[in-house]
Chain A
Amino acid sequence: MALLVGNLIIMAVDARDPDGRPKMLRIWTQSFASPLQNASSKASGATSGFFQQIWNFRSTAKENEQLKERLSQVENELHAARQAAGENDRLQALLNLKEQTDIKSIPARVIARDPSVWFNTITINRGTSSGVEVNMPVVTAGGIVGRVITVSPWASQVMLITDEKAGAGAVVGQLGQSGALGSVRGRADLGAALVEMRYVSGLEKVEVNDFVMTTGQDGIYPPGLNVGRVVDVKPGTTTQAHQILIQPGAQLDHLEEVAVLLYHPPPRSVPEQTPPQNADRTRR
């Protein structure tokens, strides 16, 4: 009973939303979990490497022993070289992105994926010690990945844009030229491959393969970042919005390196006029 009540209290504390401030409980647990996640990430890397090697050995089983050994060595070297080349390309792309956007960014490595099947978050190896804060956008060269939801000193948890609770202000086409503004968010039945774009006026022209960019209106993502491209459109009418499906530009299933944009959205201006109801009250 005590254990159940204890769990219930922890849940209730964690469920509270402390007005956008980081949750202390999350920081502690994340700090505790990140070394485990680091270890498991390395272990899974080694395991897949091991199975890869077994596979490689199997394919050369008919060769004689000397050739097999030599071949496996060469294959391992080639595998390592390809991995290094791939990593180099991805980091180069992130570097190019950094130069393009003028926003300070830090590269990060994905150290874990959500261990439960119910949620779809990733954990990266950068935290408050690297300047990461809650709600900072996470991107790859392909497009936006998601936003930081929890930070600890050495790791952060990122909510992917395919999550139902994630959202991003976006526009179909070029920012400033197109009026097809809407909101991008995940949908449970679409899985991790697609996201939905809502509230795009049925009067706007939207076609398959059009590019979708961020507008910056959500207060999280800077404007002009790639979200993905339109893969399906059910045309709307004058009174109904288009139903648009988008394939994210970032390969969310195979994330290895990402960049955290150290971006702080410009503060929103406070309206000068008081709303009519409040104005009435002040008059009284």
Chain B
Amino acid sequence: MSQIKIAVVLLVAILLQLSLRGVWQPLSYIDFPLVVVVYIALQRDAWQALLVGTLAGLIVDAASGGLIGAGGFSKTLTAYIIYFAATRVNLENPLLRIPVLAAGSVLDSAIYVFWHRVLGNPPTVPFVQTMSYKLIATTVVGTLALYMLDALVAERSAQRRQFATRRRVARRSTGPLRRR
């Protein structure tokens, strides 16, 4: 069930990415597929994160003027690094997702542009300026999107929240005063 939900979310993210530039050019700075990739990597599901990263990157590459595979590579590597960090550091706190999203955006842009420069097809826009706009837009919109994804997709986090509430209630009922 969760796979189907992720597939639907990914499809919506890709469609948004393909269509929003036509509505208003600055909206293209928001990297929706990257937000989904970061979200899945934070769930500590390595295979799903890597596959979603590759798929999302390749589909966007197919419709873009850049090299096919560059987006796939950058998103896959970003997914792996975030997954690696999430398995070693506790990134469950919603506030910690903001720097993770920002770092993901910078990493994705840097790897994407690096491969284009190495393979002789450098992007035509100024790197630092574009990366900064992308970082701001993706982080701001992505933070909100992660909350929405939590509500829509995360069965695990919902279960975790339920367990936490139950545990708190149980502790209250067996507190030091009651024990006496």
Using a CB–CB cutoff of 8 Å, the interface residues on chain A facing chain B are 3-4, 6-12, 14-15, 25-26, 29-30, 32-33, 36-37, 39-41, 43-45, 47-48, 112-121, 123, 149, 157, 159, 163-165, 186, 188-189, 253
- CB pair A119–B64 under 8 Å, yes or no, is yes
- CB pair B14–A15 under 8 Å, yes or no, is no
Knowing A37-B63, A121-B65, say if A115 contacts B21 (CB, 8 Å).
Answer: yes
The secondary-structure label for the interface of chain A is helix
Knowing A32-B62, A115-B21, say if A120 contacts B124 (CB, 8 Å).
Answer: yes
B121 at the interface (CB under 8 A from A): yes
Most chain A C-beta atoms within 10 Å of own C-beta, residue among B21, B22, B23 = B22
Q: Which of B21, B72, B73, B115 contacts A114 (CB 8 A)?
A: B21
**Shortest Cβ distance from B16 into A: residue:** A40
12 contacting pairs across A/B (C-beta < 8 A): A3-B76, A11-B70, A11-B115, A14-B68, A14-B69, A15-B119, A29-B61, A36-B18, A40-B22, A113-B21, A117-B130, A118-B116
Knowing A117-B133, A118-B112, say if A8 contacts B65 (CB, 8 Å).
Answer: no
- CB pair B62–A29 under 8 Å, yes or no, is yes
Using a CB–CB cutoff of 8 Å, the interface residues on chain B facing chain A are 14-15, 17-23, 25, 28-29, 50-51, 53-54, 57-73, 76-77, 112-113, 115-116, 119-121, 123-126, 130, 133-134
**Shortest Cβ distance from A8 into B: residue:** B73
Within the assembled complex, what's the spacing in Å between the Cα atoms of A8 and B58?
11
Q: Closest CB-CB distance, A82 to chain B, in whole Å?
A: 19
The secondary-structure label for the interface of chain B is helix
Residues of A within 8 A of B65 (CB): 114, 116, 119-121, 149, 157, 159
Knowing A3-B54, A9-B69, A44-B23, say if A115 contacts B130 (CB, 8 Å).
Answer: no
Residues of A within 8 A of B21 (CB): 112-115
Within the assembled complex, what's the spacing in Å between the Cα atoms of A171 and B68?
36
- CB pair A40–B19 under 8 Å, yes or no, is yes
Residues of A within 8 A of B71 (CB): 116
Residues of B within 8 A of A33 (CB): 59, 62-63
Residues of B within 8 A of A10 (CB): 58, 68-69, 72
